[in-house]
Amino acid sequence: MKKFFILAAAALVAIAACSKNEADTAAYEQSRVINFNTVANKATKAPISGTVYSYNLPSFGVFASYLEKNKTWAANKASATRYMDDVEVSFNDAKEIWAPASTYYWPLEGSLTFIAYSPKAAATATFAEATGTLTLSAFTVNTTVANQVDLLYSSVNADRTMNESYYVDSANSKNSENADGDKGVNIKFKHALAQVIFKAKTADDVFDAGMSFKIDTLVVNAASTADNMTVVNPADGDAAATITTWTNPKTNANFVVRADDFPNATVATGAANFLGKTLSDPIGDALLMIPVTAFAGTDPTVTVKYTLYRLSDALPMGSKEVTIHFDDIDDTVADWQAGKKYVYNLTIDLQKIYFNPSITDWVDGGSQDVDVPDDARS
């Protein structure tokens, strides 16, 4: 009987060991699956705000290159072998992780270097290991501002051998080093376009005099709609403005920022219905634009049409349309650079009424000699 219990105990130990081995194997295999964590560098539809590439954003494209053991990206990238070739990565709702549709595993030796762009459908992408150059071509800026996409590219994440320590908390759209869950390759995105925003106000003395404005339309004219972008071996600390190169500008077009009355479409008596003395909220949607290296000679323009109203009774008192060259606005802003936000604060003024008084001189009515008789009538 004692022998039976000893054998039974041995069997239990064997079963337990088998279960542990299977669990360890499963955990190890899971750790070798390539997943991704995503971060959008500070400042798809509309410009991305903040630093998190949220789970509700579009899928992105990834290139990965393999180097043998004891080789590094900095020294040996020209000999790297393509491992992931423009693979689409999207958010897996069931697993709550960014992953490609087909599973990719980490190699047992050597390392992988990653670079990515977003959205996947926004451009045609190529990558050259020899120079570490990512090229995004056939990209078009939508002239319907509300439908524009925020084009992104990532820093190179070099010489990786396993998933990293950051975890994307999809429920809260923020990163945490300490949260439980799957980990992945850190993809740190940068903005490839420039962001342009307009705000407006009424000049103080005009408003104080009981008058204000509505902006009827605001249009950016003759700005580029399509281009090719290249970036060479981008690193985390590189500013997008200094490392992106845009070439082969295509057709220019007009971008309607606002096509109806601003602040609102209803004209009513009261100061709240017109531009005040403080800057307004952004006029329409933020523009995402192809960077412009220098305004001088080829700068786009902005056309603003506005109507003057008397505040006491909302009486319209005429409209005016003005076109301004960006090069003439402020010498300190000489271009639009990738990854930078430009806010143009418009102050609408009126020509003041002044007076130039003068007096019409006396007109000579002639002179008359008069003799005064000594017997003049009293």
- Encode pLDDT of 146-173 as tens digits: 889 999 999 999 999 998 755 444 444 4
Please determine whether the domains at 31-191 and 194-226+250-348 fall in the same fold group of CATH: yes
74-88, 128-142, 194-208, 266-280: range with lowest mean pLDDT: 266-280
Strand order in the sheet with 252-258: 252-258, 211-224, 301-310, 315-325
Structure tokens at 68: 């043998």
Dihedral, CA atoms, 198, 199, 204, 210, nearest 10 degrees? 110
Residue 8 has pLDDT above 50, yes or no: no
pLDDT, tens digit, 9 for 90 and up, residues 254-313? 999 998 899 987 888 888 899 999 999 999 899 999 888 776 666 788 999 999 999 999
Number of H helices and E strands in the chain, helices first, is 5, 21
Q: In angstroms, rounded to a whole number, what is the distance separating the alpha carbons of residues 190 and 203?
A: 37
Residue 68 has pLDDT above 70, yes or no: yes
Confidence category of residue 109, pLDDT binned at 50, 70, 90: very high
Q: For 327-360, give one letter per residue: b (16+ CB within 10 A) or e.
A: beeeeeeebbbbbbebebebebeeeeeeeeeeee
Model pTM?
0.81
HEC readout, 284-345: CCCEEECCECCCCCCCCEEEEEEEEEECCCCEEEEEEEEEEEHHHHCCCCCCECCCCEEEEE
Average pLDDT of span 125-135:
97
* CATH number for region 194-226+250-348: 2.60.40
Structure tokens at 212: 């204000």
Q: In angstroms, rounded to a whole number, what is the distance separating the alpha carbons of residues 94 and 110?
A: 31
Average pLDDT of span 203-212:
95
% of the chain surpassing 90 pLDDT: 52
Main-chain dihedrals φ then ψ at residue 15, nearest 5 degrees: -65, -45
Q: In angstroms, rounded to a whole number, what is the distance separating the alpha carbons of residues 363 and 345?
A: 54
| CA contacts within 13 A on the Cβ side of 164 | 18
Q: Which long-range contacts (CB under 8 A, 24 or more apart) does 140-145 make?
A: 140/225, 140/226, 140/250, 141/193, 141/223, 141/224, 141/225, 141/226, 141/288, 141/289, 141/290, 143/225, 143/253, 143/254, 143/255, 143/256, 145/255, 145/256, 145/257, 145/284, 145/285, 145/286, 145/287
3-state secondary structure of 60: strand
3-state secondary structure of 49: coil
20 Cβ contact partners less than 8 Å away, ≥ 6 residues apart:
none
pLDDT recorded at residue 297: 61
> Quick count: other Cβ atoms within 10 Å of Cβ 280?
17
Q: For 43-52, give one letter per residue: b (16+ CB within 10 A) or e.
A: ebeebbeeeb
Residue 113 has pLDDT above 70, yes or no: yes
Q: Which fold has domain 31-191?
A: Immunoglobulin-like (2.60.40)
Residue 330 has pLDDT above 70, yes or no: no
Give me the residue spans of the domains in the chain. Answer: 31-191, 194-226+250-348
Q: Which residue has the tokens 């995503």?
A: 38
pLDDT recorded at residue 165: 59
pLDDT recorded at residue 201: 96
32-41, 175-184, 206-215, 330-339: range with lowest mean pLDDT: 175-184
126 Cβ contact partners less than 8 Å away, ≥ 6 residues apart:
86, 134, 135, 137
3-state secondary structure of 278: coil
Confidence category of residue 22, pLDDT binned at 50, 70, 90: very low
Q: In angstroms, rounded to a whole number, what is the distance separating the alpha carbons of residues 158 and 346?
A: 45
Strand 341-348 versus strand 194-202 pairing type: parallel
Q: What is the mean pLDDT of the chain?
A: 83
Average pLDDT of span 49-70:
88
Q: Which residues on neighbouring strands pair with residue 304, listed in sequence order?
A: 218, 322
